[in-house]
Structure 1
Amino acid sequence: MTRRSFGAAAVVTGAGSGIGRAFAAELARRGGRVVCADLDPTTAKETAALAEAAGGRGLAVECDVSVEAQMWDLCETAERWFGEPATLVINNAGIGAGGRVVGETPLPDWRRTLDVNLWGVIHGCHVFVPWLREHGGGIVNVASAAGFVHPPRMAAYNVAKAGVLALSRTLAAELAGTGVTVTVLCPTFVRTNIVSGERIDARAARAASVLMRLTGAAPERIVTAALDAHDRGRLHVVPRADARLLWWLGRLSPTAVPRAAGLLGRLLPPPDPA
């Protein structure tokens, strides 16, 4: 077991709230320096202050992960601040999306969801992996149980998270033997503000909020599990029992999970009128 998450020179995207903020705070508690990147500069500054209060150091950076040039700027800013290349990259930034079936989901919703949730991670890997390959370190990509369960009315989100899962597995193969550890986090409901996302139908958001209150885990718990697993060199982190059950059920009976998800989908409220 390494202690890569301790004393790290870490970059966290989507650090302004939720899982990203919890990553930044925990890395700071572990003695790290954390670049807290977010589309919202105000929340990024709040997280950087939390990192300082937790015993580490924090730098707020405004960044849209869907824009390649901004990710290059983020990499350069981080290296200047650290005085060295980043040793740990957390590709976490994401938005919520869902509520309508394929064919009714507006194409702009598809594009924005994929731009942030998939291309944001692709940009993070494209920009930072060459540095990690040369200097060593780790990368944690935040996917979701939706990447292998595929609930109905969440196609764009499911596709993006499945892509993050596939990208992470590919990276793990390509980086084997280089000293770079790749981890992909696949949680179920976590108590964050993601259900208030820009691409979620209002009725679907209300239903998701109820489920989150009833079954959601604290982001701090999920983050601690992810970082500890990363230090142990694990590729997949499926931190909740419900997600692990669905993971193995899907492997043992590939048709069972889609059928069960389809039955659940019939219980969901219809979307709001366009």
Structure 2
Amino acid sequence: MARRTHGAHAVVTGAGSGIGRAFAVELACRGGRVVCADIDLGTAEQTVAGIEGDGGEAVAVVCDVSSAEEVAELAEAARSWLGREPDLVVNNAGIGAGGRVVGDAPLANWQRTLGVNLWGVIHGCHTFLPAMRQARAGGVINVASAAGFTAAPRMSAYNVSKAGVVSLSETLAAELSGTGVGVTVLCPTFVRTNIFGGELIDVAARGLAQRLSDLVGFSPERIARRTLDAHERGRLYVVPQPDAQLLWHAKRLLPTPYARVAGLLGRFAPGPQQ
């Protein structure tokens, strides 16, 4: 087993809270030095303070991953602080969006959701992978979602953004095969984070998602540990929860019946109807 998540020189985006913070803290616990990037510098600094309080090494960097220029600046800051190229990048930064059907959801919501959730991951891979490919070492973890394959109604922009991350990761796994660079894509369902408080989620949909998360959601720490362990084992897909695994297999074995059932269930979910 490669020990690529132990003693890593890592960059984690969206490290100010939730799964990103859990990744940063766990990597530091594994002896890594962690660049904690977030659009909110204050929350990134809180993550760093927690890591340093436990004897770890970390630094906070402000970064809007939807901007290629800011991700390039993040890479420069990471190289400067680490004293070398990062050998593990966790493209985690993301926002929630949902509650409206296609044609009703504003195009601005689509643009912002894809800008962060998909283009943010594209920017991270485009910026950091060339050095890993040249070194024939390192790894990238892209945080997608079970939404990328479940295609639940009234979550179109979010679904599309996460499906794109899954497809990108699969493409990278093929391109990087035999290079020594590992690729893992995380596809969880409900995780107890603050993502449901996003401004692009309708109030009714937000309430339902939060209740489900409180009821069946995993902790971000549990998700981060499972994903890092899977990355060390060379796994491409991490589908960490039983409900996600059930949906994963149902979608692939019975795609047409799955779509019909999803449509029926969608009629009972809160939010505007078609």
TM-score (norm 1): 0.97
Q: Aligned partners of 1:77, 1:256: CA distance in 2, in Å?
A: 49
Q: Aligned partners of 1:30, 1:54: CA distance in 2, in Å?
A: 12
SS at match of 2:255: coil
Unaligned runs of at least 5 residues, structure 1: none
Alignment partner, residue 163 of structure 1: 164
Matched, 1:78 2:96: no
Residues 14 and 93, structure 1, Cα contact 8 Å, conserved in 2: yes
Alignment partner, residue 55 of structure 2: 55
Residues 27 and 34, structure 1, Cα contact 8 Å, conserved in 2: yes
Q: Counterparts of 1:231-246 in structure 2 under 5 Å?
A: 231-246=232-247
Deviation, 1:23, is 0.3
Alignment partner, residue 32 of structure 2: 32
Alignment partner, residue 119 of structure 1: 119
SS at match of 1:190: coil
Alignment partner, residue 133 of structure 2: 133
Matched, 1:215 2:255: no
Alignment partner, residue 104 of structure 2: 104
AA in 2 matched with 1:219: P
AA in 1 matched with 2:237: H
Deviation, 1:271, is 4.1
Q: Aligned partners of 1:34, 1:188: CA distance in 2, in Å?
A: 26
Instruction: State the aligned residue count.
Output: 272
Deviation, 1:113, is 0.2
Q: Counterparts of 1:119-198 in structure 2 under 5 Å?
A: 119-135=119-135, 136-198=137-199
TM superposition outliers: structure 1 runs of 4+ over 3 Å: none
Residues 28 and 52, structure 1, Cα contact 8 Å, conserved in 2: no
Q: Aligned partners of 1:74, 1:172: CA distance in 2, in Å?
A: 24
Deviation, 1:207, is 1.0
Q: Aligned partners of 1:54, 1:222: CA distance in 2, in Å?
A: 21
Q: Aligned partners of 2:54, 2:2: CA distance in 1, in Å?
A: 22
Alignment partner, residue 44 of structure 2: 44
Q: Aligned partners of 2:149, 2:55: CA distance in 1, in Å?
A: 37
AA in 1 matched with 2:131: W
Alignment partner, residue 90 of structure 2: 90
AA in 2 matched with 1:165: V
Q: Aligned partners of 2:64, 2:104: CA distance in 1, in Å?
A: 27
Deviation, 1:260, is 2.1
Alignment partner, residue 10 of structure 2: 10
AA in 2 matched with 1:207: L
Alignment partner, residue 201 of structure 2: 200
Q: Aligned partners of 2:153, 2:28: CA distance in 1, in Å?
A: 38
Q: Percent identity?
A: 64
AA in 1 matched with 2:239: V
AA in 2 matched with 1:79: R
SS at match of 1:255: helix
Matched, 1:264 2:265: yes
Unaligned runs of at least 5 residues, structure 2: none
**Which whole-Å deviations, capped at 9, do the CAs of 1:35-87 have from their partners, x for residues lacking one?**
00000000010011122233321100000000000000000110111111000
SS at match of 2:51: helix
AA in 2 matched with 1:158: N
TM-score (norm 2): 0.97
RMSD: 1.0
AA in 2 matched with 1:18: G
Q: Aligned partners of 2:229, 2:31: CA distance in 1, in Å?
A: 15
Residues 31 and 55, structure 1, Cα contact 8 Å, conserved in 2: no
**Which whole-Å deviations, capped at 9, do the CAs of 1:204-233 have from their partners, x for residues lacking one?**
101111111111110000110000000000
